[in-house]
Structure 1
Amino acid sequence: MPHNKLTLMPGRIEILLPEGSCLTDIENERPEQLIPFGCRSGACGACVIEVLDGAASLGEPDPDERDFLEDLGRDDGSHRLACQCRLAGAATVRVAQQ
């Protein structure tokens, strides 16, 4: 199965995940919590990330995710809920500042 690279900033931490993996799967690859996850269903906002490169590799946000990001004031197009992203190519992200 092909793997894709997710790079987490600031530290340039590179993680290989199988094609189509949800970003919550990074918890299976690394012992430390690199992205905070709460509900894992797009309802809590704990996993807001800023996409620095490779937005197309994370799929399109659905209307519910867009609405929730708007409620959080993160509707500028560069933010996503990590739990709603499926990796289909290389991407670089960082945990959004609260």
Structure 2
Amino acid sequence: MILKKLTLQPQGLEVMLPAGSRLTDLEYEIQQRVIPFGCRSGACGSCVVEVVEGGTAALGEPDLDELDFLEDLGKSGGNHRLACQCRLLDSATLRVAE
């Protein structure tokens, strides 16, 4: 099993997850609720994160629905993602809203 590192800021938390894991799997790996997952279907916006390092190579390409919703939230431009829609394909660093 190949593990990839997910770093969460501003907490400075580093978690190793199997490559291809959904970011929602984070809830099973650590006890603290760092990313506030709500609906898990990309419709509520509670899990918006800023991608600091990694981009689409690490998290996969967003689909059009995700991009449209991020635009509606005023978070368009490529640096934000809905964590519930991402898979960890390579190491990444995300900034979680406080």
In the superposition, the TM-score normalised over structure 2's length comes to: 0.95
Partner of 2:61: 60
What secondary structure does 1:8 align onto?
strand
Shift of residue 90, structure 1, vs aligned partner: 0.4
In the superposition, the TM-score normalised over structure 1's length comes to: 0.95
Partner of 1:19: 19
Q: Answer with 9-18 or 57-66: which moved more.
A: 9-18
CA contact (8 A) 2:50 2:81 kept: yes
User: Which runs of structure 1 show a deviation greater than 4 angstroms over 4 or more consecutive aligned residues?
Assistant: none
Distance (whole Å) between structure 2 residues aligned to residue 86 and residue 51 of structure 1 = 13
Partner of 1:71: 72
Distance (whole Å) between structure 1 residues aligned to residue 97 and residue 80 of structure 2 = 8
Shift of residue 95, structure 1, vs aligned partner: 1.3
CA contact (8 A) 2:10 2:96 kept: no
Runs of 5+ consecutive residues of structure 1 not aligned to the other structure = none
Shift of residue 61, structure 1, vs aligned partner: 0.3
Distance (whole Å) between structure 2 residues aligned to residue 85 and residue 11 of structure 1 = 20
Partner of 2:86: 85
Runs of 5+ consecutive residues of structure 2 not aligned to the other structure = none
The structure that is strand-richer by fraction is 2
| Identical amino acids, percent of aligned pairs | 64
Distance (whole Å) between structure 1 residues aligned to residue 12 and residue 81 of structure 2 = 19
- 1:33-52 equivalences under 5 Å are 33-52=33-52
